[in-house]
């Protein structure tokens, strides 16, 4: 008999949901984490996750359903998303939100900070601080409280163990020695491949040179092990771009995706707008990166107050990366922008926001017209996380190209194919965590059966 019913590799978004769900179903679970002090993508994230038809939406009078969520994803990501996966993620995201509250004991609410593009209803949920750091810490506390989950930190998985195509466990390096951990099921939840230079060059050349702001542990090794066992890969060119990176920061600081929905505009160093800021943040990234010398994002006091509800924005403010409360002259001087051109740009934008004419760049959602005092930050673009990976069924079992499942092997989160289609444009905010939570839950249920 195997030592464990389930060995989970990776204590991030998908791994912790898998471990909690399997334990709740009576399974003996070991959770192997390479380095709990290093930031996972969960901890680095904005902590906002999509869920449709939740009780928090119902309490707020928001009409939504998994079917509507699926239709929104289809609209954005097209036909590339496998239908069974789409169904599992859109239904499972609601189950996951309720599971997080009812089983893991997390304080969940429906975020009303901003309406993000790609969602036809408010459906981003979060813990109180609207931050991935908080969400990760709360989940880790929940995992550590569960008597049926054995947590091993400093346990670096180095290989999958398999006999005649059946996965039997995982090899782990801990404390300088390698040893096998035998399990009936292995859930590989080690994250995507944003930090894997060679994999990025092979699968997503368009973003190969972009600054990666995700976890260095997302090196794609888990995907490689599964591929060697015959797993099918899909949507490997899909990723989330990040257009609100602070150019004056140390690398990962960002403003968060709420600002355009709160009325912010972006200008280049000539003082001119260059894109419809209300498109999805992922596809906006290429437009920001195309501006020689970077760009400047500008908003006002009302947007500042609203954005402060979200963790990444607060962190950027605390790091001194947001300039603020100045008039147009001070704004132009601070960022080296031609004042007259900038004045015309902001006047035009205010006019479009009031409904006076159509924006030639095609922006439709404006919020209230911006008014001084202004706030601003120098921005650039980067790569947040990848969205392609192995194909799984509704129980998170890893599939071969012929549709058969690899016995004993489960995947969720960044190791598995997401619901973002191809390239950058299919990603909708909140759907990285939605897939990780929904498939993590599905994997845990499979292992508990």
Per CB under 6 A, residues contacting ligand FAD are: 9-15, 32-35, 38, 40-42, 44-49, 156-157, 189-191, 213-215, 217-218, 221, 384-385, 413-414, 430-434, 436
CB 10 → ligand FAD: shortest distance, Å? 3
For the record, the structure tokens of 185 come out as 């099921």
CA 143 to chain CA centroid, nearest Å: 21
The string of DSSP letters for 122-181 reads: --EEE-TT--HHHHHHHHHHHHHH-TTEEEEET-EEEEEEEETTEEEEEEEEETTEEEEE
Q: Which CB, 126 or 349, lies closer to ligand FAD?
A: 126
Name the residue whose CB lies closest to ligand FAD: 12
Q: Which CB, 346 or 438, lies closer to ligand FAD?
A: 438
CB 428, CB 280: distance < 8 Å: yes
Q: Which CB, 12 or 66, lies closer to ligand FAD?
A: 12
CB 13 → ligand FAD: shortest distance, Å? 4
Q: CA-to-CA distance for 165 and 300, rounded, in angstroms?
A: 59
CB 249 → ligand FAD: shortest distance, Å? 12
Helix 339-353 and helix 328-335, axial crossing angle in degrees, nearest 10: 120
Q: How many CB atoms lie within 10 A of CB 337?
A: 23
Q: Which CB, 16 or 370, lies closer to ligand FAD?
A: 16
CB 40 → ligand FAD: shortest distance, Å? 3
CB 390 → ligand FAD: shortest distance, Å? 12
Q: How many CB atoms lie within 10 A of CB 177?
A: 7
CB 12 → ligand FAD: shortest distance, Å? 2
- Indicate if the alpha-carbon torsion angle 340, 342, 344, 346 is positive or negative: negative
Q: Which CB, 249 or 432, lies closer to ligand FAD?
A: 432
CB 105 → ligand FAD: shortest distance, Å? 20
Q: Which CB, 143 or 370, lies closer to ligand FAD?
A: 143
CB 405 → ligand FAD: shortest distance, Å? 20
Find tokens 């911006």 and name the residue. 370
Task: Give the contacts of 331 (CB within 8 A, at least 6 positions apart).
Answer: 298, 323, 337, 342, 374, 376
Find tokens 């943040």 and name the residue. 281
- Which of 108, 35, 121 is CA-nearest to residue 433? 108
Q: How many CB atoms lie within 10 A of CB 74?
A: 17
Question: Which one-letter DSSP state was computed for residue 10?
Answer: -
Burial (CB < 10 A; 0-12, 13-18, 19+), residue 330, is: middle
Q: Which CB, 306 or 384, lies closer to ligand FAD?
A: 384
Q: Which CB, 243 or 367, lies closer to ligand FAD?
A: 243
CB 269 → ligand FAD: shortest distance, Å? 25
- Which of 419, 317, 442, 332 is CA-nearest to residue 81? 419
Q: Which CB, 174 or 270, lies closer to ligand FAD?
A: 174
CB 319 → ligand FAD: shortest distance, Å? 15
Q: CA-to-CA distance for 22 and 30, rounded, in angstroms?
A: 10
Q: Which CB, 233 or 269, lies closer to ligand FAD?
A: 233
Q: How many CB atoms lie within 10 A of CB 293?
A: 11
For the record, the structure tokens of 338 come out as 């031609």
């Amino acid at each position: 008999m195997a030592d464990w019913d389930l060995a989970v590799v990776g204590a991030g978004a998908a791994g912790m949901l898998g471990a909690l769900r399997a334990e709740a179903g009576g399974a003996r679970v070991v959770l192997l984490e390479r380095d709990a002090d290093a930031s996972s993508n969960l901890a680095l994230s904005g902590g906002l996750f999509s869920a449709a038809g939740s009780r928090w939406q119902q309490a707020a009078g928001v009409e939504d359903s998994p079917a509507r969520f699926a239709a929104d994803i289809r609209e954005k990501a097209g036909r590339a998303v496998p239908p069974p996966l789409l169904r599992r993620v859109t239904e499972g995201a609601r189950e996951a939100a309720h599971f997080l509250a009812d089983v893991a004991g997390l304080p969940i609410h429906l975020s009303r900070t901003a309406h993000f593009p790609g969602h036809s209803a408010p459906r981003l949920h979060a813990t109180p601080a609207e931050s991935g750091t908080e969400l990760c810490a709360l989940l880790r506390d929940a995992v550590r409280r569960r008597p049926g989950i054995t947590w091993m930190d400093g346990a670096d998985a180095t290989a999958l163990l398999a006999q005649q195509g059946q996965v039997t466990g995982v090899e782990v390096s801990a404390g300088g020695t390698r040893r096998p951990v035998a399990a009936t099921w292995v859930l590989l939840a080690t994250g995507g491949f944003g930090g894997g230079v060679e994999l990025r060059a092979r699968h997503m050349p368009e973003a190969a040179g972009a600054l990666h702001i995700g976890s260095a542990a997302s090196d794609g090794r888990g995907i490689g092990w599964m591929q060697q066992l015959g797993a099918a890969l899909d949507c490997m060119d899909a990723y989330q771009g990040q257009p609100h990176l602070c150019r004056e920061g140390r690398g990962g600081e960002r403003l968060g995706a709420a600002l355009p929905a709160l009325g912010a505009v972006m200008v280049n160093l000539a003082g001119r707008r260059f894109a419809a800021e209300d498109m999805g943040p992922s596809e906006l990234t290429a437009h920001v990166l195309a501006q020689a010398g970077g760009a400047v994002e500008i908003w006002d006091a009302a947007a500042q107050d609203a954005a402060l509800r979200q963790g990444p924005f607060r962190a950027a403010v605390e790091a001194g990366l947001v300039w603020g409360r100045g008039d147009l002259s001070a704004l132009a001087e601070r960022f080296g922008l031609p004042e007259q051109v900038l004045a015309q740009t902001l006047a035009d934008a205010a006019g479009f926001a009031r409904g006076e004419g159509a924006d030639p760049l095609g922006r439709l959602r404006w919020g209230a017209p911006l008014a001084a005092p202004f706030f601003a930050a120098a921005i650039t673009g980067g790569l947040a996380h990848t969205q392609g990976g192995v194909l799984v069924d509704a129980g998170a079992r890893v599939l071969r190209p012929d549709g058969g499942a690899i016995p004993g092997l489960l995947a969720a989160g960044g190791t598995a194919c997401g619901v973002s289609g191809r390239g950058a444009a299919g990603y909708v905010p909140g759907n990285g965590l939605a897939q990780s939570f929904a498939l993590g839950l599905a994997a845990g249920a499979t292992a508990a059966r």
